[in-house]
């Protein structure tokens, strides 16, 4: 069977993250610019190869000052490391529409293995005759594993930023001819 290439449709996709603030509430952010591809030989995407990258300078938490701080050397150091990337090592069906996606996530100069949960929403043709496939990808990483170590301890001793980062990616891909 021939390999089929699918390209991420940024108009119908989103990348979000959630992190605890002062360990009592949650802040949600997103990345506005990203790209990705899937290469597969199967209709159900089993054993696909997935690559994905985020533009760190497109981070958006709805607070400009916080976004600039996140881009600074204290966090992502966007000037030195402008991209966050992911390259899969395995996509395996667990049951029904549920999959596990294993791969290597690179943030700054640190690459670590991660496992993400994937729900395959199915595929359908759009108004232009293009075949689309939808996925919801979720997971959690510890930011300190990727050299994102700034804690910003308050004078009262409270940690400003939680360690666990929840990832929520809704991705729609377009089948290439």
What proportion of the chain, given as a percentage, has pLDDT over 70?
Answer: 95
* Greater model confidence, 25 or 133: 133
Per-residue model confidence (pLDDT) at position 96: 95
Instruction: Inform me whether the pLDDT recorded for 64 exceeds 80.
Output: yes
Instruction: Inform me whether the pLDDT recorded for 145 exceeds 90.
Output: yes
Task: For residue 1, name the pLDDT band (cuts at 50, 70, 90).
Answer: low
Q: What is the DSSP letter of 65?
A: H
Instruction: Inform me whether the pLDDT recorded for 157 exceeds 70.
Output: no
Question: Which residues make Cβ contacts (< 8 Å) with residue 157, sequence separation at least 6?
Answer: none
Query: What residues make up the domain containing 99?
Result: 4-175
Question: Which residues make Cβ contacts (< 8 Å) with residue 152, sequence separation at least 6?
Answer: 159, 160, 161
Torsion of CA 86, 63, 24, 26, to 10 degrees: -40
Tell whether the torsion through CA atoms of 136, 140, 144 and 145 is positive or negative: negative
Q: Write out pLDDT tens, residues 158-167.
A: 667 889 999 9
Q: How big is the chain by its Cα radius of gyration, in Å? A: 17
What span, in angstroms and rounded, lies between the C-alpha atoms of 62 and 159?
A: 21
Q: What is the DSSP letter of 41?
A: S
Task: State the chain's mean pLDDT as an integer.
Answer: 94
Q: What is the CATH number of the domain that holds 80?
A: 2.40.128.110
What span, in angstroms and rounded, lies between the C-alpha atoms of 83 and 108?
A: 8
CB 106 within 8 A of CB 99: no
Q: How far is CA 169 from CA 81, 104, 135, 160, in A?
A: 21, 16, 8, 25
- Of 175, 162, 173, nearest to 29 by C-alpha is 162
Largest CA distance in the chain: 62
Per-residue model confidence (pLDDT) at position 161: 83
Query: What number is the average pLDDT over the span 14-33?
Result: 93
Q: Facing residues of 134 across strands?
A: 122, 172
- Of 67, 117, 124, nearest to 93 by C-alpha is 117
The number of folded domains in the chain is: 1
Instruction: Inform me whether the pLDDT recorded for 107 exceeds 80.
Output: yes
């Amino acid at each position: 069977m021939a390999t089929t290439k699918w390209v991420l449709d940024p108009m119908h996709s989103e990348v979000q993250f959630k992190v605890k603030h002062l360990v009592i509430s949650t802040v949600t952010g997103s990345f506005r610019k990203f790209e990705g591809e899937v290469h597969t030989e199967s209709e159900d995407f089993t054993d696909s190869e997935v690559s994905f990258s985020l533009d760190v300078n497109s981070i958006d938490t709805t607070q400009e000052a916080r976004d600039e701080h996140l881009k600074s050397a204290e966090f992502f150091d966007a000037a030195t490391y402008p991209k966050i990337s992911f390259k899969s090592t395995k996509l395996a069906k667990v049951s029904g529409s549920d999959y596990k996606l294993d791969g290597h996530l690179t943030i700054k100069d640190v690459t670590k293995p991660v496992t993400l949960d994937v729900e395959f929403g199915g595929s359908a043709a759009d108004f232009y005759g293009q075949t689309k496939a939808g996925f919801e990808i979720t997971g959690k990483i510890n930011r300190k594993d990727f050299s994102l170590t700034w804690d910003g301890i308050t004078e009262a001793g409270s940690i400003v930023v939680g360690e666990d980062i929840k990832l929520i990616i809704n991705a729609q891909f377009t089948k290439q001819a």
